[in-house]
A and B are shown apart, each in its own frame.
Chain A
Amino acid sequence: MAQIRLVNVSKRWGSYVGVDNFNLDIADAEFLVLLGPSGCGKTTTMRMIAGLEDVTEGEIWIGDKIVNNLEPKDRDISMVFQSYGLYPNLSVYENIRFPLRVRGIPKAEHHERVMRAAAMVELGPFLERRPAALSGGQRQRVALARSIVREPNAFLMDEPLSNLDAKLRVSTRAQIKNLHHTLKRTTIYVTHDQIEAMTLADRVVVMNKGLVQQLGTPTEIYDRPANTFVASFIGSPAMNLIDGDVTDGIFRAEGMALPIPLGVSGPITLGFRAEDVQVVPQGGQLSATVYSMELLGDATLVSCRIGPALVSIRAAKDFRTQIGAPLHVAIPPSAVHVFDRSSGQRLSDNTGLPAQATSSKTGAA
């Protein structure tokens, strides 16, 4: 009942394009994350859905009606702002009650609903305080309670965790995930933090420069990035991307030789994730000297330089080496992603290389 549909939605300010031809169907009760670097149009998209920004072109549907010309208050949505947007002159209780008050919901229901919303985000002891007397995390929870008190059709959240410290972010993230599970409402969540996107989302929309780069489940986006932008944006560390040339089915870059049986030739960008490859004592497809070594606790991150690219390799937690020491890395064919060098688009369509390549590769190695 609260599907949200965006049809060819664009937003332009003069000649500047904020969002370009955005198409998206969001299912009822889905948790959708808009992910991208700052200035990519993700917040603009959300604000258009909320009605805070006019749509230049296209249609936005909420449920079974076009909402392009509806005021925000008539769209039956609620929103959590990055800066919380709490009313400084009202107590926490009155802040949470505000949506009920202005929408003329019968007074008798107010108290119960406010208390229920406050309990959901564990705000009980703070109800009489002013927002100024709360910590950042508590303010964020007031904003959450205010958005859920009315139980609208859809929740919009604009980087709600970005002003919190790292530890609080993790616990509030879990709380949001749990709230979504309890309330079962369509939720659109904007963030530039790929970990938030991976942990919270049913589906993720990766955006850059106003364009949708990829739409998919977190696993799809992680395992099969559609282009080099997504590959370099998702993951920590991001996917290693190495420019090189394919001649006679062999990819070559400085210190690297790797068969690519895709029928492509010429310049490509090759990608692999740090955890999909292994450090080996001899041989391997990549040989270089160690540039840096970082201990992460659960693993050791070794990096080396291939031309201008810094390549990270995840090794076992007890692996130790010296900066400047030789490094050999085995790259299994299933780990390899191939992208067109000029357009950045993905060329290999499975995770890694085709199956028959695996056997020939193993032979070569």
Chain B
Amino acid sequence: MTDIANRRPLALKTLTTVFLVIWLIAAAFPFVWTVWGSFKVEADFFSRQSWWMAIEGTRTQAQTGSAFTLQGYEGAWIKNEFWKAAINTMIVTLSVTIISLTIGTLGGYALARSGYRYAFWILIAALVFRAMPHITLVSGYMLPFFELNIWGVLPTTIIVLVAINQPFTLWMLHSFFLSIPKDLDESAMVDGCTRFQAFRMVIMPVMWPGVITTGLFSFLLGYNDFAVTSMLLSQQNQTMVPKIASFLGSIQNEGNVMFAVAAVVSATVPLFILVLFFQRQIVSGLTAGAVKG
């Protein structure tokens, strides 16, 4: 490995290193900049005089007596009840993940083991729904939800997100189930299991990596969704992402935009931890999907 790397011409090595460094800065800078800026006041972070002020925190020093301040976080979390949005996000994402996985494992298993033609068509239909922009589905939901008086509450949003997420979960778990040899179910059934027992006692223990990966993707979908949550949730039931958007929508008030910045950082940190923790599963899941389609 290292031998081959060392044999490369120096120019190429320099080029790749430079490219990687530039790429790393380009990718990481926005996030690092936001984290840094979230501890400043608006006059610094959005300074018109010099962007150097955001680094040094001149105004922050003048206004609060320290180069760093928690004003943005305090305003977002306490004054504007961002904690409520965080709890809502937790409820929505966990529910979406659990419901999607339950339906997805059962359905994916059934489709993977079904010898019938319709299994294929169900998967194709699922793919079509998956391909549609989320917003097109939501616009159709609005009127019926108003009529039925179920607009604005969390359960409705959860159901819609599950519906949007399900095709993907189904596809992904389906391909995971396909990679488990049929002999395993069959030997379980000959050994004395019913179909469901074979699923529960033999297939599921082997499926955990697939379930965790699919669960992560479902979690991310629920967590990051804007289209559905912003349209279907009332002001007091908002989750984090639309809440951040509404902070940004009211920048005429001094300091509000800093609430948004602080909230963005607050919403991103858990994702970072999650991805770092599960990176192995995410990568293996991505390649499994890539190979099995």
Residues of A at under 8 Å CB distance from B?
50-52, 71-73, 77-79, 81-89, 98-99, 102-103, 143, 146, 150, 156
A146:B191 contact, CB within 8 angstroms: yes
Q: What are 17 of the A-B contact pairs (CB < 8 Å)?
A: A50-B190, A71-B194, A72-B186, A73-B190, A81-B183, A83-B181, A85-B181, A85-B186, A85-B187, A87-B184, A87-B202, A87-B205, A89-B205, A102-B193, A143-B187, A146-B187, A150-B192
B183:A102 contact, CB within 8 angstroms: no
Task: Name the residue of chain A whose CB is nearest to the CB of B184.
Answer: A85
Chain A residues near B189 (CB, 8 Å)?
Answer: 51-52, 71-73
Question: In the complex, what's the smallest C-beta–C-beta distance from B200 to chain A, in angstroms?
Answer: 11
A81:B187 contact, CB within 8 angstroms: yes
Cα distance A89–B205 in the bound complex, in angstroms: 7
The 8 closest A-B pairs by CB, nearest first: A85-B187, A85-B183, A99-B191, A103-B192, A102-B192, A89-B205, A79-B190, A72-B189
A78:B193 contact, CB within 8 angstroms: no
B181:A102 contact, CB within 8 angstroms: no
Cα distance A103–B187 in the bound complex, in angstroms: 14
> Is there a chain A Cβ closer than 8 Å to B234's Cβ?
no
B192:A73 contact, CB within 8 angstroms: yes
Question: In the complex, what's the smallest C-beta–C-beta distance from B209 to chain A, in angstroms?
Answer: 11
Cα distance A344–B266 in the bound complex, in angstroms: 81
Question: In the complex, what's the smallest C-beta–C-beta distance from A35 to chain B, in angstroms?
Answer: 22
Q: How many A-B residue pairs have CB under 8 A?
A: 63
Cα distance A81–B192 in the bound complex, in angstroms: 15
Of A81, A98, A99, A143, the contact of B186 (CB 8 Å cutoff): A81
Residues of B at under 8 Å CB distance from A?
181, 183-184, 186-194, 197, 201-202, 205-206
Of A77, A86, A88, A89, the contact of B190 (CB 8 Å cutoff): A77
A99:B184 contact, CB within 8 angstroms: no
Chain A residues near B188 (CB, 8 Å)?
Answer: 87, 98, 102
Of B186, B192, B205, B206, the contact of A52 (CB 8 Å cutoff): B186
Cα distance A79–B206 in the bound complex, in angstroms: 21
Question: In the complex, what's the smallest C-beta–C-beta distance from A174 to chain B, in angstroms?
Answer: 24
A102:B186 contact, CB within 8 angstroms: no
Of B186, B187, B197, B206, the contact of A89 (CB 8 Å cutoff): B206
Interface centre among B188, B191, B193, B202, by most chain A C-beta atoms within 10 angstroms, is: B191
Task: Name the residue of chain B whose CB is nearest to the CB of A76.
Answer: B192
Chain B residues near A77 (CB, 8 Å)?
Answer: 190
Task: Name the residue of chain A whose CB is nearest to the CB of B183.
Answer: A85
Cα distance A73–B198 in the bound complex, in angstroms: 11
Cα distance A117–B201 in the bound complex, in angstroms: 22
Interface centre among B181, B184, B192, B194, by most chain A C-beta atoms within 10 angstroms, is: B192
Chain B residues near A52 (CB, 8 Å)?
Answer: 186, 189-190
Question: In the complex, what's the smallest C-beta–C-beta distance from A89 to chain B, in angstroms?
Answer: 4
Question: In the complex, what's the smallest C-beta–C-beta distance from A76 to chain B, in angstroms?
Answer: 10
Question: In the complex, what's the smallest C-beta–C-beta distance from A338 to chain B, in angstroms?
Answer: 44
Knowing that A52-B189, A98-B191, A150-B192 touch, tell me 7 more A-B residue pairs with CB under 8 angstroms. Answer: A50-B190, A72-B190, A73-B191, A73-B193, A87-B205, A102-B192, A103-B192
B206:A102 contact, CB within 8 angstroms: no
Chain B residues near A78 (CB, 8 Å)?
Answer: 190-191
Interface centre among A73, A86, A143, by most chain B C-beta atoms within 10 angstroms, is: A73
